[in-house]
Amino acid sequence: KPSVDRKNRKKNVKDIKRTNDPAALEMLDYTIENNIITAFDRWSAQQPQCAFGYQGICCRICFAGPCRIKGLEGPGSMGICGAKDYTIVARNAIRMMAGGASAHSDHGRELVEVLYHMSEGKAPDYEIRDADKLKCVAKKIGLEIEGKTDIELAKEVALAAFEDYGRHTSEGTTFLKANLCEKRIKKYEETDTMPRAIDREVVEVMHRTHVGVDADPVNLIFGGVKCSLADLTGEQISTDISDILFGTPKPVMSEANLGVIEPDKVNIILHGHNPVLSQMVVDTARELEDEAKAAGAAGIQLSGICCTGNEVLMRNGVPIATSYMAQELAIATGAVDVCVVDVQCIMPGLRNVCECFNTKLVTTMAISKIPGSYHFSFEDAKAKQSAEGIIRLAIETFKQRKESGRPVQVPQFKNKLMAGFSFEALLDLFAAINPDNPIKVLTDAIIDGEITGVCALAGCNNLEAVYEKSHTDIIKELAKNDVFMVGTGCVMQAAAKQGLMNYEAVEEYAGPGLKKFIDRLYEANKDKLPDKLPLTFHMGSCVDNSRIFNLWTAMANEYGVDVPKVPFVATAPEGMSEKAVAIGTWVIASGIPCHVGAMPPLEGSNLVWSVVTCIAHDVFGGNFILETDPQVAAQKLIEAVKYRAWKLKIHM
């Protein structure tokens, strides 16, 4: 196990190197000088964190406890009920998976509801923006498409998706099975990990982890795997239906980092995860531009944080302000008029910073409110009205900001980026070289040794590491070793902000093979691309990890092997959320080695540790690589991907 020096952590936020993002660093100095408390200060105040919780051996499942595991023998080595370390660690871990699966799949459910209501004429502000994707999804899940209108088909797709949430039989979730390769279907059926229905698997995890139910760590973890595959079902539904409603992303240029905030404009930040309202704000902002100008603004500047930011970047080129851990720093610029949030990864601490600067914090979802904020209830029947209300509030706040004459502090850092690489967009790039079999362009590049393999970059921010440094260190090291990188979530915001999502980064960091591959793709596509291709290929938000799953499945099918043989690895350098735990679990259950750079609470049980790092590999072909040092992690990822490529070449 990697050792983490927890006792000697510096308590004072001023004394430690907190990030390698220059904009965040400038804002951190500013917030410290001005006594504005942010996550970075709260992290310091939390040190040293509880060692029992950190290792996953604090049990709070019933209130006879909390019980903590003290030592390896005697009565103190068990909870009051007799639960051993391995039971407690496994139960805590799979409850995190259930939390993650709930978040992703409830996000998906919102989209299914919008699609369904639209098909019934009850969501008039929404439309089908990608009818081809609708047909493609319908066909994939086994619906007959001939002779049906788009609206009829939309309704059938929505009903099939609803079914995946609450099916009572056990043949497996449709949206998952339709996208798996045959060998993985067999694997999940053999190991009893094929999810029956999303809601059911979450409920089952909550049941089996109740006091006095499942005590067997291996059985618990297999239950967690099934739940994480339910999570993947929810992610696939979210991505597919978002593309149908809002369009499938295509390459688009934009910018990232706090320098995208323009003080002379009405600044609205879109933050959270769900595109149902944010897309409406984007569309409506264009229409209300003149109102903003009449109020004395140079226009309306939208920017994004977290995965709502990724959604609107991918489809509309809306710039990225920052990522999860720096959300308060964006508000501390004093130039944000409204921060509109939906669900997930929204720090309650935002409110205090908003109050310092008269920034209006607007919540929009019934299940996600913050005391002291404004609430514009989102309903799909009157989505546009809500979006207009939010934009007018921002215009009003802009006027107050200008009248107050209050100074702003916007760091002048931003970088150019190219994003918008849906699975379809990637295939489209490859199709310019091989129209008959696009994916073969990627699989052949590995077999020919031009690139080493593929790495998925995913996940969050976690102050266990220096904010964003592990992300950028790993990306640079993989690039040097010719690894083709795709990614989602906050790690891609780090890449974008720090100039690793453009062609300049290819020139600076890519090894000769990777550069040749990216140049070759560009040459074949240059008539339709807005610029040269980037070093890292942004595939979207957290739920869009399903696009990455679609990519490795296509590669496995092309090679004619099961996924564990594909030269593909994954990394979450700063994993943090329950969603990341669910994603990481289905990544290894897919047969992909997955590095995590911040320690998940597993160290309290050697048995569970060995299950996720070793035994998982024997069963599913993937395993966790838990490593806090980014350089060591990069080497382990490179070794893993090279080994797979070498083995594959022998057998081809």
Q: Is the peptide bond before 48 cis (omega within 30 degrees of 0)?
A: yes
Q: Judge whether 268 and 301 are in contact, CB under 8 Å.
A: yes
Give the number of other CB atoms < 10 A from CB of residue 614. 11
Crossing angle of the two packed helices 423-431 and 545-559, in degrees rounded to 10: 40
Residues 284 to 313 in contact with ligand XCC, rule: CB under 6 A = 306-307
Smallest gap from residue 580 Cβ to ligand XCC (A): 6
Verify binding: residue 467, ligand XCC, rule CB under 6 A. no
Q: What is the 3-state secondary structure (H, E, C) of 440-509?
A: HHHHHHHHCCCCCEEEEECCCCCCCCCECHHHHHHHHHHHHCCEEEEEEHHHHHHHHHCCCCCHHHHHHH
What are the CA-CA distances from residue 316 to residues 70, 274, 287, 391, 566 (Å)? 53, 15, 15, 17, 33
Smallest gap from residue 557 Cβ to ligand XCC (A): 27
Verify binding: residue 577, ligand XCC, rule CB under 6 A. yes
Report helix, strand or coil for 253: strand
Segment interacting with ligand XCC, rule: CB under 6 A, options 183-191, 454-462, 476-484, 507-515:
454-462
Verify binding: residue 460, ligand XCC, rule CB under 6 A. yes
Looking at the Cβ atoms of 102 and 461, the one nearer to ligand XCC is 461
Q: Is the peptide bond before 66 cis (omega within 30 degrees of 0)?
A: yes
Smallest gap from residue 368 Cβ to ligand XCC (A): 13
As given in the structure block, the two tokens for residue 131 are 């009818």
594 is in an annotated binding site: no
Looking at the Cβ atoms of 99 and 172, the one nearer to ligand XCC is 99
Looking at the Cβ atoms of 306 and 612, the one nearer to ligand XCC is 306
* Separation CA 327–CA 321 (nearest Å): 8
Verify binding: residue 324, ligand XCC, rule CB under 6 A. yes
Dihedral angle, C-alpha 142, 145, 146, 151, nearest 10 °: 160
356 is in an annotated binding site: no
Task: Determine which residue in the list 579, 585, 604, 605 makes contact with ligand XCC, applying CB under 6 A.
Answer: 579
Q: Which single residue is written with the structure tokens 């079999």? A: 437
- Contact letters for ligand XCC, residues 526-555 (x by CB under 6 A): ---------------xx-------------
Verify binding: residue 573, ligand XCC, rule CB under 6 A. no
The upper half-sphere exposure of residue 3, i.e. CA atoms within 13 Å in the direction of its Cβ, equals 3
58 is in an annotated binding site: yes
Verify binding: residue 78, ligand XCC, rule CB under 6 A. no
Rounded CA Rg of the chain:
24
Q: How many residues bind ligand XCC (CB under 6 A)?
A: 16
227 is in an annotated binding site: no
- Contact letters for ligand XCC, residues 239-278 (x by CB under 6 A): ----------------------------------x-----
Looking at the Cβ atoms of 462 and 553, the one nearer to ligand XCC is 462
Smallest gap from residue 540 Cβ to ligand XCC (A): 10
181 is in an annotated binding site: no
Verify binding: residue 587, ligand XCC, rule CB under 6 A. no
Q: How far is CA 390 from the centre of its chain?
A: 26
388 Cβ contact list (under 8 Å, min separation 6): 284, 288
Smallest gap from residue 558 Cβ to ligand XCC (A): 28
Comparing CA positions, the residue from 279, 274, 258, 271 lying closest to residue 360 is 271
Dihedral-angle region of residue 341 (phi above 0 means left; psi in -120 to 50 means alpha; beta otherwise): beta
Looking at the Cβ atoms of 103 and 510, the one nearer to ligand XCC is 103
Q: E strand or H helix at 539, and its extent? A: strand 536-540
Segment interacting with ligand XCC, rule: CB under 6 A, options 38-46, 228-236, 446-454, 457-465:
457-465
Looking at the Cβ atoms of 58 and 581, the one nearer to ligand XCC is 581
Q: Please report, in range form, the residues annotated as the binding site for [Ni-4Fe-4S] cluster.
A: 273, 307, 345, 460, 490, 542
Q: Please report, in range form, the residues annotated as the binding site for [4Fe-4S] cluster.
A: 50, 58-59, 62, 67, 81
Q: Please report, in range form, the residues annotated as the binding site.
A: 50, 58-59, 62, 67, 81, 273, 307, 345, 460, 490, 542
Q: Which residues bind ligand XCC (CB under 6 A)?
A: 273, 306-307, 324, 345, 459-461, 489-490, 541-542, 576-577, 579-580
